[in-house]
Structure 1
Amino acid sequence: MRNSVKSIVALAAALAVMTPGAAWAVEIKAGSWDLSLGGNVNAFATYSRCGTSNASVVGGLACSKADGSVDQFSIESGLLPSAFVFGAKTRAYDKIDTSATLGIYPGLHVSSTRTGVANSGVAADVRQLFVTFGDKSWGTVKLGKDLGLFGSDVILSDMLLLGVGAGTHSTINTTLGHIGTGYLYADWIPQVAYTTPSFGGLAVTVALVEGFGTAAFGMVQDDPATPEVEQDPMPFLNDTPGVQARVSYDFGGAAPGRAWVGGMYQNAKLDAPPENPDLTSVAGEVGAKVNVSGLGALAYGYVGDGVGA
């Protein structure tokens, strides 16, 4: 097994059903509640040509294929799939800002179709389902499922978010943007999060999260005369919550932007009695973005152990 990834060449020709600028939103006043509905629909025609690699890269997302394999043409969703987001907010008891959000993100390949390249899954991907309550004087609490903290700023700042980015050798529900080739995927995870008030642009967010699903991979060799083969993954279970945190600073002026540092930690146990060996995953990140006269720039880096690619 090799952990190196060879070169990637992803060629994408994109035809959008609705351009990013055509995203829509509607707001309705209902008594003391402000209701909103927003979203977008997109589809891209993509052609991916991957670098050749006969090595197995377990957990890797970079586009690669065996020598002699064919290229891939797909009609699929971009990095961000289509979206329908419902929101409701109010000022409860004239003291607490309260909101609820339901975000449904359907893609073009989430169930079996006659094309034979569909990705199994449910047709409606509920990525957001959470409530918030708080006040500018003491902060905000979030309960439910939403984008994780670690890696969220960089993916939301990815210039490919409303486009395609890196492709894959087989069609999946979305393309990858820079996921796996520039940053870790933040993912949409159940969480309990608290964000402090903004102190001159400085804010801290801490979240207890349901740990990421983890699997142990390995190579087995039944006969010394035969090559090793990859065994089926063995599941890890999380008996403690994971922790994610971020410190961010938003600044304005002629060159507004944000700088942030963040981290994550979790411990999972392999379901293999009686020893039940564990795996600790830890990672840190630092990033900054700035906009000047409509031109944006982003710098980002992360380091981690036990977090995959």
Structure 2
Amino acid sequence: MNKKLGLAVAGAVLAFGASAANAGIIIPAGDWTVDIGGNVNTYYTNTRFSGDAFAGVARKNQVSTGLLPSALGIGAKTRQNDLDIAFQFTFFVGANGEEGFGTTGSAGPNYQSRAGGGNSINIRQAYLTFGDASWGTIKAGRDLGLFGSDAILSDMTLLGVGVGAGGPGNSTLGRIGSGYVYADWIGQIQYASPNWNGFSFAVAAREGLRNDGVLLTTATADDKTELGFDGKVSYEWAGDFSGKVWAGFITQKHNNSTTGDYRSRGYDLGGKINVADFGLVGYYYDGKGLDIQTGGQLGGLQFLGGNKSDDKGGYVQATYKLPQVGTKLGVSYGISKSDNSSSSIYNPGVDFENKSWIVGAYHPLTKSLNLVAEYAHQKVEASNTAAGNVDGKAKTISLGAILFF
């Protein structure tokens, strides 16, 4: 499988025993080595909705991609003037009609694909790297952000669907918004250290993100655009008792004439261990002005709440690989909370809670092809002392397959 694309799937592949090809299509080209790889996945999902948050929605049946869209990655690497040089482009696409997030929480209760609807290519990776094992690596371009990246790469639903099924678009949500904040694919200039016997760190300056993109129906002036910054430090070890621990941060100042000036910030802590056929993951995050929750399926998008909210959450996950059979069984529970003060510009005094239970089975039919079955039970609540409480449930059964090449 393509090495750079592997950053987006290797955590799930290694942690949960799902098979993937060991390498993509390797092509020597003079001083360069070209690597082509990717995945194709498709799932049938049946989602039943109930409660005030999903009023007017009873059931949605879909054929779509899961949390990880289908992808084709093209990269190459070489060694020149004592530097390791590489580049990567990866093109992602969905199986069903329409583009973008199509979850019920973001697009209305009856939003679904239409006749003649197409799908769009989403270029999530486009970057160059240069460096050396002695001093580290510089990355410049679009790639997965550092903050929260280990949380999503350790999520078993990366190879499946998770929550957020039931609408058009090229991705479901996995555990985004009900256990972690989405790391997102973002323009950045990053430095990654060498690996010192398992210890490493990385820091990045990132494209500044608007803090009002979802909740406003008309554009307002951003008085000044500020860069964001994130980073992480980690320690990883191998052996019969293998694992990894990490800690990260994110921060960005917002200057906006509607929401006012404030700084979003957050930190996270996580770890995972593997002993024989057992695996365990634990993750926690905390922040200010960090998350958006809508009271629907969609949540966990950076900064878009436009408020100085108090945000926190996390998830725990346990897996077991059946001996001889190879099937990985997993169960996880996660929750995300976002509390807004009475002086907030949007959703004043509203406290959001988004939690879910997910169970899954991931079977390697071949070294490249994996069969997947999941059940996700999501519950969302919006509490307001003045207006009362609103809640809803989304229960999803998903069946499908993912092929790596």
When the two structures are superposed, what TM-score results if normalisation uses the length of structure 1? Answer: 0.77
Q: 2:287 is paired with a residue of what secondary structure?
A: strand
* Shift in CA distance, 290/126, structure 1 to aligned 2, threshold 3 Å: same
Alignment pair present for 1:142 and 2:139: yes
Q: Residues 70-85 of structure 1 correspond to what in structure 2 (within 5 A)?
A: 70-85=58-73
Distance in 2 separating the partners of 1:46 and 1:173: 14
Partner of 1:118: 113
1:59 counterpart residue number: none
- Which shifted more, 45-54 or 233-242? 233-242
**1:298 and 2:277 equivalent?**
no
> Which residue does the alignment assign to 1:174?
171
Measure how far apart 1:30 and its partner are: 1.4
2:160 is matched with 163
Question: By how many angstroms is 1:216 displaced?
Answer: 7.0
**Structure 1 match to 2:255:** 269
Q: Aligned-pair distance for 1:28?
A: 1.1
CA RMSD across the alignment:
2.5
Contact 2:226 2:253 in 1 (8 A): yes
| Preserved contact between residue 69 and residue 93 of structure 2 (Cα < 8 Å) | yes
C-alpha distance in structure 2 between counterparts of 1:207 and 1:252, whole Å: 27
Map 1:274-293 to 2 at 5 A.
Answer: 277-293=260-276
Alignment-derived partner of residue 50 in structure 1: 49
Q: 1:87: which partner in 2?
A: 75
Could you tell me how far apart the structure 1 residues matched to 2:96 and 2:214 are? 26
Asked whether the equivalents of residues 166 and 176 of structure 1 are also in contact (C-alpha less than 8 Å), the reply is yes
Q: Which residue of 1 aligns with 2:57?
A: 69
Mapped to 1, the partners of 2:252 and 2:78 lie a distance apart of 35
Aligned to 2:308: none
Q: Secondary structure at the match of 2:150?
A: helix
1:246 aligns with 2:232: yes
- Could you tell me which residue of structure 1 aligns to residue 217 of structure 2? 232
Give the Cα–Cα distance (whole angstroms) in 2 for the partners of residues 243 and 235 of structure 1: 24
With over 3 angstroms needed to count, the CA separation of the structure-2 counterparts of 1:303 and 1:75, relative to structure 1, is same
* Separation (CA, whole Å) in 2 of partners of 1:253 and 1:187: 32
- Secondary structure of residue in 1 paired with 2:179: coil
**What corresponds to 2:182 in structure 1?**
185
Aligned residue for 1:244, secondary structure, equals strand
How far off is 1:82 after superposition?
A: 0.2
Q: SS of the residue aligned with 1:160?
A: helix
For residue 233 of structure 1, report the CA deviation from its aligned partner: 5.8
The residue number in structure 1 matching 2:32 is: 33
1:254: how far off?
Answer: 1.2
Distance 2:279 2:132 in 1: 31
Q: SS of the counterpart of 1:141? A: strand
Give the letter aligned to residue 88 of structure 1: A
Percent identity at matched positions? 39
**Residues 222-275 of structure 1: per-residue CA shift (max 9 Å, x gap):** xxxxxxxxx636557462210001011111121222100001000122255xxx
Return the structure number with greater relative CO, CA threshold 8 A, min gap 6.
2
**Structure-2 separation of matches of 1:137 and 1:217:** 44
In 1, the alpha carbon distance for the partners of 2:33 and 2:213 equals 46
Structure-2 residue corresponding to 1:260: 246
| 1:105 aligns to 2:92 (yes or no) | yes
Change (3 A) 1:283 1:116: closer
Kept after mapping to 2: 8 A contact 1:236/1:269: no
3-state secondary structure, aligned to 1:178: coil
The separation in 2 between residues aligned to 1:190 and 1:254, in whole angstroms, is 38
- Distance verdict in 2 for CA 1:215–1:121, change over 3 Å: farther
1:144-173 CA distances to partner (integer Å, 9 max, x unpaired)? Answer: 000000111111111111111113453332
Structure-2 change in CA distance of 1:76 and 1:213 (3 Å): farther
Q: Structure 1 residues 139 and 216 mapped into 2: Cα distance closer, same or farther (>3 Å)?
A: closer
Is contact 1:215-1:236 (8 Å) kept? no
Structure 1: any 5+ residue segments left out of the alignment?
1-19, 55-64, 219-230
Taking the aligned partners of 2:193 and 2:266, their CA distance within structure 1 comes to: 22
Q: Runs of 5+ in structure 2 lacking a partner?
A: 1-17, 100-109, 292-299, 301-405
Give the direction of change, closer, same or farther, for the CA distance of 1:213–1:101 in structure 2 (3 Å limit). same
Q: Compute the displacement of 1:49 (Å).
A: 1.6
Contact 2:111 2:168 (C-alpha < 8 Å) held by counterparts: no
1:213: Cα distance to partner? 3.0
CA distance in 1: counterparts of 2:31 and 2:214, whole angstroms: 53
Structure 1 pair 121–260 and aligned structure 2 pair: CA distance change class (3 A): farther
- For 1:44, the aligned partner's letter is Y
Q: How many residues are treated as equivalent by the alignment?
A: 261
CA separation in 2, counterparts of 1:217 and 1:145? 22
Moved over 6 A (4+): 119-122
Q: Give the Å deviation of 1:121.
A: 9.2
Corresponding residue SS for 1:69 = coil
Counterpart for residue 8 of structure 1: none
Shift of 1:69: 2.5
Q: More strand by proportion, 1 or 2?
A: 2
